[in-house]
Each structure stands twice: as C-alpha cells, then as structure tokens.
C-alpha cells in the first residue's frame, strides 16, 4: 500500500442484493500503514450481514459503487470496484451495461465469483462483470476458499497488476487504487 501513488488507499465496503438494496457497512477509510490496515480489517470483521434477500443485482452493486466513488471528495489516481458474489445478475439492468458505464467513468471493475452454487460463474464474471484496463477475476472454489482468494486478489489490485486468470482489457479508462469493495 505504501508503494502506491500517495502511499495510501481509500476503501469502503458495501453489502448488496437487489437492484436498490445496498448498505455501506464500512465507511470510507484511509489505509496507509499496518495500524490503519488493522483498523479496516476490524471494521470489516465487525460489520454484521444486513441484507439476506432481494435477488442478485450485480448491476445495482456496480451502479451504487460508482456513485460512492463519485461522491468521494478526493478520488485516487485509480478507482477500482471489487464485486464478489455467488450468482449471476437476476434483477435490475444487465450487469454488462453497468460494467460498461463504470468503465466509461474511468472505473475498473474486478470480480471474485464464488463457485459454490454455480461452477461456471467465473465465465459469467469474465463476460459480464469485469472491465477496464487490467481488469480480472479470481474465483473462489467454495465459501471456505473465499478468504484466501480475496487476499490474493487484493494484493494483485493494490500492486496494480492484472490477475493471473484474466488480464482482460475491455476499454480505455484510468486505473486505480482499490476504492470500493462490495460483497453479496
């Protein structure tokens, strides 16, 4: 983190389900050292699950994250949305439309599909969710593998490297420090 431009990243976390069901459970936090990273980790761990039903609207989550990034007064050099979930978009506008709008707003969308319910979900994420320069998806084979996959994904994002599974360049835009993490 200290090696990125400015020596810090801003992070928030949102839980989401349906097209209009998103809750920002961890406010924007600046992470620049071990102490602030521990503070963020504690906030994530303490955040209770607030949404349990309403469908799966990846598009709603992306749109919400773009709004959070737009509302943030000081945007970093790179703006990245992390989407993790265990299903395909089944409510709201198509996920690819939201992804394309995010990329047009100079936001990179990366993914972490959890394959527990749908072993082919990583293919859906690659085709419909991830986008922008260096965008990638890292799949978690199960819910138990999620923690290891997210650590691997965050290290690659913060280092500014495309993931090993899909370096997928979709369209032009500005890359960024990880700025919004969303989970379903």
CA-CA distance, 41 to 77, in Å (whole number)?
23
Predicted local confidence at residue 75, as pLDDT: 64
| 84 burial via Cβ count (<10 Å: 0-12, 13-18, 19+) | buried
CA dihedral 39, 44, 46, 51 (to 10 degrees): 160
Predicted local confidence at residue 133, as pLDDT: 94
Q: Pick the closest to residue 108 from 134, 84, 75, 146 (CA basis).
A: 134
Angle at 117 between CA 114 and CA 121, to 5 degrees: 55
Predicted local confidence at residue 73, as pLDDT: 56
Predicted local confidence at residue 2, as pLDDT: 77
Predicted local confidence at residue 169, as pLDDT: 32
Predicted local confidence at residue 172, as pLDDT: 25
Full pLDDT tens readout for the chain, 184 residues: 877 777 888 999 999 999 999 999 999 999 999 999 999 999 999 998 887 788 999 999 999 999 999 887 556 778 999 999 999 999 999 999 999 999 999 999 999 999 999 999 999 999 999 999 999 999 999 999 999 999 999 889 888 766 544 433 332 222 223 344 444 4
């Amino acid at each position: 983190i200290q090696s990125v431009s400015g020596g810090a990243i801003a992070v928030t976390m949102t839980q989401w389900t349906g097209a209009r069901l998103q809750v920002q459970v961890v406010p924007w936090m600046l992470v620049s050292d071990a102490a602030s990273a521990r503070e963020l980790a504690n906030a994530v761990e303490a955040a209770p699950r607030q949404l349990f039903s309403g469908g799966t609207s990846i598009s709603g989550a992306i749109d919400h994250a773009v709004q959070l990034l737009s509302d943030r007064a000081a945007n970093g050099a790179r703006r990245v949305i992390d989407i993790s979930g265990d299903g395909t978009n089944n409510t709201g506008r198509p996920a690819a439309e939201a992804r394309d709008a995010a990329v047009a707003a100079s936001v990179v969308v990366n993914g972490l599909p959890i394959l527990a319910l749908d072993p082919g979900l990583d293919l859906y994420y690659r085709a419909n969710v991830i986008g922008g320069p260096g965008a990638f998806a890292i799949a978690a084979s199960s819910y138990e593998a999620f923690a290891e996959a997210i650590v691997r994904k965050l290290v690659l994002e913060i280092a500014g490297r495309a993931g090993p599974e899909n370096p997928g360049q979709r369209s032009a835009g500005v890359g960024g420090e990880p700025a919004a993490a969303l989970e379903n």
